[in-house]
Chains A and B, each alone.
Chain A
Amino acid sequence: MKLMSILDHVASAPAAAAPRRALFQQLGRAAVAALPLGLGAALPAAAETKDTSLDALTQLLLLERLVSAFYTRALANTSLIPAAQVPDFQRILRHQTQHVALFTQALQDSGAIMPAMPTFDFSGQRNVPGNPVLFPNVLTAYDDFLALAQQLEDLSARLYRSQVFNISYDPKLYKAALSIVAVEAEHSAHVRTLRRNRGVAVKSWPSATDAAIARPAAAQVLATAATGGEDNLAQEQQAGVLVPFASLLSVLRLTFVSDPSVAEAFDEPVSTAVAQAALSLFY
C-alpha cells in the first residue's frame, strides 16, 4: 500500500473532507503486520494488512464487495436458488450493497484513494484458468452455494468484530459497524438454518458439533478464517484473567452448561491477516 501517496492525497483533499481526516489519525503509528511465513507469498501485493482505521475500512469494503458480487452472481443463475429462498438472498444482497455504499462513502469523505474493484473469481482459481478449482459448483449447485455462503457470512461477522475497534475514533462509523455485526450474524444464522433444514449437521451459531465443510488444503484458510478457534473456552475478562466458566457454570451451582455450549455463546474474532488470506482466494 502506497502510504506516501495516500498521505499526499490527504494533504490535497478538499476542505469538505476535513471531518473525515480523523480517519488517518492512526496512520502515523501504522505498522505493517507481518504475515505468517509462506502465506504472504501466496497473496497479491496489495494484500498486506495493517490494523489502522484506513486499512479497516478498506478491508471491510473489500469484504462487502466480494459478498455482494457473490450473491449478485448467484441470483443471476435463476436455477440455483429455490424460489422460496430467493427473497432471502435478495434481502441479504441488499444489505451488503448498502454496506458497500457506507464504506465507499466513508473512504470518499476522507479523501482516500478508492481501491479498484477486483475481478472476483468464486472458483478459487483467482482468474487463472490453469489454477485448481478450490470451490467447485458454488454458483451452480445449491448446497455448495450455501456452504460457501455460510463461510463468507461467518467470516463477515467475525471480521467486523475484529475491525470495529479500529474505527471507534469515529462514533458514527463505530456504531454503524456494531450494528452491521448483528446484521451479518443474522445472515450467517439464516444461512446455517437453511443448511440445517437441508439435513446438514450445523447449528445457527458456530459450534464444535458442526459438520466440517470439506475443502482442498489450499482453501483451508477460508475455514480457519470463518470458524477456526470457535471451540475456544478461554475468555479473558481482564488481561491474563480468564472467566472461570468451570466454576461459574457448574452442576453443583445448578448452572451447568457444557463446554461446547459455552464456546457457542461467544463468537470469536479473526485476525485481519487470516481474513485477508481468505478473501484473497477470490480475486
Chain B
Amino acid sequence: MNFFNIINQLAEVDPDVMGRLDTRRSVFNSLTSMSKRAAMAAGPALLASFFTKAYAGTTAGDPKEVFNYALTLEYLEADFYNKMIASPYFSTASAAAQAAIRQISKHETAHVNLLKAVVTGIGGTPTPAVTFKSATFASLTSFAAQLQVAQLLEDTGVRAYKGRAGDLLGLADVTITGIGTINPLQSALQIHSVEARHAAHIRYMRNQTPWITGTGDLDSQPHYTGAIPESNTTQSNVNLIAANSITPNTTYSAADAAASFDEILTPAEVTDNSRAGGLIGA
C-alpha cells in the first residue's frame, strides 16, 4: 500500500488532513494511533513535517480551540480596523471609504464579542486578546497602504474559516446567554461569508476584482499561496479547466476556474509569519 502517495493526494485537497486525523472525536480515537503508525511507516519525513505543522501547539478539532483560533483572527482584524480609524490617514479617505471601514470594523468587533461568548458558552476560556503589531502598522503611511493590508487580512480570514469548518461538523446546538441558541458550524459559516463580503468590498475599493482571479496586484503574496494556492484549478480531483472535463464542448479559463472556488489555509499556514502570524504583536 502506497500510503505516502495516498496522503500526498489527500493533502492536495485537504492539507489539514493530518490535523483532522487527530481530532478528539471518538470515531477517530482508535484511528489516530493506527494512522500514525501506518503513516510513520510509510513516509516518516513527510509526515513528520505534516504533523509539526498540523499540531502547532494546539489540539486540533476541539471546537473550543477552533473558536479560539477564530477569535484570535478576529481580535487581530478588529484591532487593525480600530487602528485604521484612529490613524491620521483615515481622514484622507473619502466619506464612502470611511463608512465602509466603519461598517467592517463594526462587524469585526461584533465577531469578537460573539466568539468570546461562544467559547465561554461551550465551556472554554476565551483566548487572550491579540493586537496588530504597532510597528508594522506605523509603516503603513497612507490609507491606500492600510487598505492593502486590510485586503490581505480579509482574504486570509476567509481562507482560515474555511479551513476549520470541518472541525465543527456534527456539533450540537449550544445555548449562549444573551445570544440564544446557535449552531456552532452555522455561526462560523455566517461569519465566514461576512468576511468574504468584506474582502470583496475592499478589493473593489482597490480596483481589484472582487474575486481572486490571480491577476490582482497582491495575488502573489503568501496570503494567496500555500499548500493549495488560490490559483488552484482542480477541485476534489476534478480538473475544471481541461477540455470537456466538466462540460462537453466547453473549456473554462484558469482565471475563471480559480476565481470560482476560494481555497483553504491551514492554521499552521495562517499563523505562519508570512501571513497573519507576522502581524500579531505589541
Direct A–B touching, Cβ under 8 Å: no
